[in-house]
Amino acid sequence: MSWGWYDVGAGYTNFIDMAVGGYTAADPSENEWAFGGFSIIGDHGELGSQSGFFSYQNSEGGNAWIYTLADNPGDFNGCESTSMDIDQGTLYSYAVYTYDNEGAMDIYVFIMDFGQWGEYSGSPIHENAFEAFISSSGDDANLDVSALNDNVIIVSERDGDIIGYYSGNGLNNIEETTIETGAENPRIFHTDENTAICTFIKNDILYSSTTEDGGASWSSPTQISGPEEVVTGDICGFGAVYEVRRYRILCTSRC
């Protein structure tokens, strides 16, 4: 299934980043077509450049909702990084975006209840949507997010360190911790309730660190990659994957 963005209005151009979050719905028939949502960064002719968008398919026939997260020109412009995940326990989605907040790169979170359907103008819609803001002491970048049973962990590459923002109640309260200093390219994945793995690159080597208390504390880094220079990496339920400078992609089993 696909959509032409030029059909929804002028100015949807120059997409620079996007992410997808999937889920398993309670209704088996919904799982035939409703796979999740998309967080997107791109230009909007009226609202400005590098704004945040959010989209999801809302019917088997292929219709979709597209949200412009800015209400006025200049709102949430200068976005550089986005990620999203859907909590498989609660079916709440968390789409995170960096944005230029008066010269500081802060974090905006768009939250939606994918377990609830309503109706708007004759079309199905997820009516329950919320938002959260994280204003930090530095410039956030290269975001990733993971959520399970209301434990939400957002990792950020902030001013040369890996920062974790975590919550045990769906971002109603947010705490902050430093996962590792002098590192980059953080990625996060829940392996169990309140347990998650964060991977990151430090001195050209891919490492992982684990939390078992919902993001409050993290283990000492464990080296994943070999001696070759790592360019980028990621983590999922099957293990870690990373790219080395000679452009070979290597996989591990479980971290």
Q: What is the pLDDT of residues 114-148, one digit of tens each?
A: 999 999 999 999 999 999 999 998 999 999 999 99
Specify the pairing of strand 222-223 against strand 230-236. Answer: unpaired
- The residue among 185 and 242 whose pLDDT is bigger is 185
Among 176, 242, 235, 177, residue whose Cα is nearest residue 204: 242
Write the pLDDT tens digit of every residue in 36-84.
999 999 998 888 899 999 999 999 988 899 998 888 877 889 999 999 9
- The band of 255, judged by pLDDT with boundaries at 50, 70 and 90, is very low
Question: Secondary structure of 163-205 in the HEC alphabet?
Answer: EEEEECCCCCCCEEEEEECCCEEEEEEEEECCEEEEEEEECCE
Decide if domain 5-251 falls under CATH 3.40.640.10. Answer: no
When pLDDT is averaged across residues 241-250 and rounded to a whole number, the result is 71
- Residue 86 pLDDT > 70: yes
Segment 18-25 shows an average pLDDT of 94
Question: Reduced to 3 states, what is the DSSP secondary structure of residue 243?
Answer: strand
Instruction: Write phi, then psi, for 6 (nearest 5 degrees).
Output: -65, -15
DSSP letters along 208-243, please? EEEESSTTS--PPPEE-S-SSPEEEEEEETTEEEEE
Q: Is the dihedral of CA 96, 102, 103, 104 positive or negative?
A: negative
pLDDT of residue 12: 85
Q: What is the pLDDT of residue 16?
A: 93
Q: Phi and psi (nearest 5°) for 143?
A: -75, 155
| Helix or strand (DSSP H, E) at 16 | strand 13-22
Q: Could you read off the pLDDT of 159-209 as tens digits, one per residue?
A: 999 999 999 999 999 999 999 999 999 999 999 999 999 999 999 999 999
pTM: 0.93
* 11/130: higher pLDDT: 130
Residue with tokens 């002098």: 182
